[in-house]
Each structure stands twice: as structure tokens, then as C-alpha cells.
Amino acid sequence: MIGWYEANLVLIEATFLNFLLALSIQVPLRLGVFSFAGVGSYGLGAYTAAILTLRYDVPAFVAIGAAVLLAAVVGYLFSLLVARLNGLYLAMATIAFVLIIAVLATNGGELTGGANGLYGALSDLTTGGVVAVCVVVAVLLALTERGPLRRRIEAVREDPELSLSMGIGVVPMRQMAFAVSGALGACAGAMNALLRTTVSPEEINFHLIVLALTMVIIGGSRSWIGAFIGSVIFTWLPSVLASAGRWQDVVYGVIIILAAIFMPTGLLGLVQTLYQKLRGRRSAAVTAEAPADDTAEERALLQALGGESRGGVQ
């Protein structure tokens, strides 16, 4: 077991980092906001943590905290700029935000290392620290998936206008989603830069957007569990498909297409649907058996009463 862990340590770390990246897309999506700004924040967080560590010898978690705070503020300010956009226009604006971060990193000179990026960002961040951060994030997001806050989120996603008429602050909730998305993306990027000790503009690309969106759609977009399922699948799937050789991308694409067609709510949604159907069948079976049991009890009672009556006549 220890040998397997050491051999797959990079993939294990990548799974948890991809989990945070997927959450940066999922959080606004739960509110009906199609935003990829979390991927841009991934790059912003990575460079912020790397610069603080390299230039100022800042401890790992202080650098990560600074990156998260900066990206949350930037995410909130960006939400003010795109407040009137929705749907495809909003998605395009957030893709542009990702590209802007990549261009700034490429042309940042000595600060960002230019096209070559930054190297040697050594820190004391460990795999245990990454897992601990992910657990805390998962617990906090799980709290938003129940109670009044969950109902508010679902109302905003399903019908924003009706939510406004009910006194729900749709705009503030969306702005908060952008801030949280930025924080999650930056956290993933910062920890990746400190674990790998390097960051470059090439990491902030359209492929990262596709990966984050795919993990959310295939895993499930309504819960953090779906994001985790997606991160596990699409972190480990390339290594599993390595034996396919040059057909790897084709097989990968076919799997995604089939999953999108037959599992529109993701793997988590499929499991929940099957569970509800099974539970419904059990409830129907119990309901169908209940009248028969009542009839048997009534017959026994009538027989007892009949026996008493006959005894009284005698």
C-alpha cells in the first residue's frame, strides 16, 4: 500500500487540486451562472503564491492565504463589471478573463518570469496540508447544500425573477459566488505552484477550462460530491487509457460524449435517481401489502367477536 501511494503521489495530489478547480466552476453554476473565471483565478493564485515564496520567502500557507484573498477581491470586482451579462455572453467574458491573466503572465517581465514562468518556488507544503484544505472546503460547501441557504440557491438558479419578488438578493448572491469561485481557483493554483515549485503561462489555457467543466458535468453539478467524483475520474483516466496509445484521445472523447448523453445530471445524479426509484418501489410494495395485513387483522377480530357472541347465546 505504501509503495502504491508513493508511486501515485503526483496523481493523488492532482486529484485534490482538480477537485478545488472543479468547485470553482461548480459554485457559480449552482446559482445558474456559467462562469469560467475560476480558471483565471487559478493562474492568478499560482503566480501570487510563487512570487511571494520566491521573492519574499513567505511561508506556504501565508502565501496561499494571500493568493486566495487577492483572487476573491478580483473575482468580486469582476462580477461588478459583468453584472448585466448572462448566458453565453457571460461565459465569453469569463473566458476572456482567463486569457487576460495568461497574457499578463506572459508579458509580466521579471515579476512573472515571462513566457518561461517561475521556477524554484520551494515551500513546506505537504500532501497532508492539501488534503486538509480540501476537507475544510468540502465541509463548508456541504453546509450550503442544506437548509434555507440551499433553498435560496435553488430558487435563484431556477427562477431569478421570482426570487427577486420573494425578497432574495439575487445580485449579491451571484457576486458572492464569483468571489468564492475566485478563492477556490486561486487556492488550487497556489497549492499546485508550491507543490510543483513552478508555474508558467502555458498552464493557464483553454484545456484547463475544458477539464474543469468536464469534471463538473460528468461528476454532477449540484453537489461538491459530484465535483470530487469528476476530479477522481478525469485525473486518473488518462493514465488508465495510456495503453490505448494514439487512440487515447478518441476513447477519452467517446467516454465524455456517452456520459453527456446518457447521464445528463452526471454520475451523482444517476446514482440519486436510481436510489429514488428503488426507494419508490419499496414504498409501493409496502403500501400494497398494508391492506392485506389490515384485512387479516379484521378477520381475526371478527372471528373472536363471533366466538364471544356464540358463547353468550349459549
Domain ranges of the chain: 2-208
How crowded is residue 216: how many other Cβ atoms within 10 Å of its Cβ?
Answer: 25
Inter-residue contact 51 to 242 (CB < 8 Å): no
What residues have CB less than 8 Å from 166, skipping those under 6 apart?
Answer: 155
Inter-residue contact 31 to 156 (CB < 8 Å): yes
Least confident of 70-74, 106-110, 191-195, 270-274: 270-274
Report the distance separating Cα 32 and Cα 62, nearest Å: 33
Report the distance separating Cα 108 and Cα 31, nearest Å: 34
Report the distance separating Cα 133 and Cα 16, nearest Å: 9
Question: What's the pLDDT score for residue 310?
Answer: 47
Inter-residue contact 126 to 70 (CB < 8 Å): no
Collapse the DSSP code of 198 into the 3-class scheme (helix H, G, I; strand E, B; otherwise coil) and give the result: strand
| pLDDT, tens digit (0-9, with 9 covering 90-100), for 252-303 | 788 888 887 888 788 888 888 888 888 887 777 766 665 545 555 555 545 6
pLDDT at 243 over 60: yes
Q: The whole model's pTM is what?
A: 0.86
